[in-house]
Amino acid sequence: IHWSKNCKGIFGLDSNTQVNLGLFWELIHPDDIVWMKPLWDKLEKAGKPYKGVFRLQLKDDEIRYIEEQAEFIFEDNKLVKTIGTIQDVTETKIFQHDLERSELSLKEAQRVAHIGSFEYDLINDRVIWSDELFRIYGLDIKSFNPSNDKFFRLVHPGDRDMIREKIDESVM
């Protein structure tokens, strides 16, 4: 096994460390070994290129998310080499996790307060409603596709001009 200095660094190893398959598996997060070993066995037999994300658990218990790409080189139907690249995507994964948590908190706050929200994409004339806005109007999220026309059909006829005016004011 040959790893670059950068690859060793991502795995938390000194650049002089001799790498072997056993050391690789020691650094894989225990929960990921369960699915990674069978996957790699299958990939090595199939020989198809692979791209995926797994976690490392370094010796100081630091967790890193690693995106890998691998290709398998065969000669005479025998696997002779695996080549690939890895990238530390920990910051991206943490950001995604924080964003998902924030979105769940917003949905819960809207549900509890019974407040809906929407976005209006002026360029594409597209309206996006929050889940709670659908609930407020008693509409099915899967079957009702919000648009300005459909929204105005829900508004009392006596209020439509005033709401159109407010929308026009806010986008100018």
Q: What is the pLDDT of residues 128-159, one digit of tens each?
A: 999 999 999 999 999 988 887 888 888 999 99
Residues 142, 144: Cα–Cα separation, whole Å: 6
pTM listed for this prediction: 0.70
pLDDT of residue 126: 86
Task: For residue 171, name the pLDDT band (cuts at 50, 70, 90).
Answer: confident
Which one, of 154, 152, 157, lies nearest residue 167 by Cα?
A: 152
Phi then psi for residue 125, to 5 deg, are 50, 55
DSSP 3-state of 119? strand
pLDDT of residue 117: 92
Average pLDDT over residues 5-18: 93
What six digits make up the tokens of 6?
A: 């950068």
pLDDT of residue 170: 83
Run of H or E including 134: helix 131-137
Residues 152, 71: Cα–Cα separation, whole Å: 55
Predicted confidence (pLDDT) at residue 68 exceeds the cutoff of 90: yes
Which one, of 85, 54, 88, 90, lies nearest residue 70 by Cα?
A: 85
Quickly count: other Cβ atoms within 10 Å of residue 73's Cβ.
11
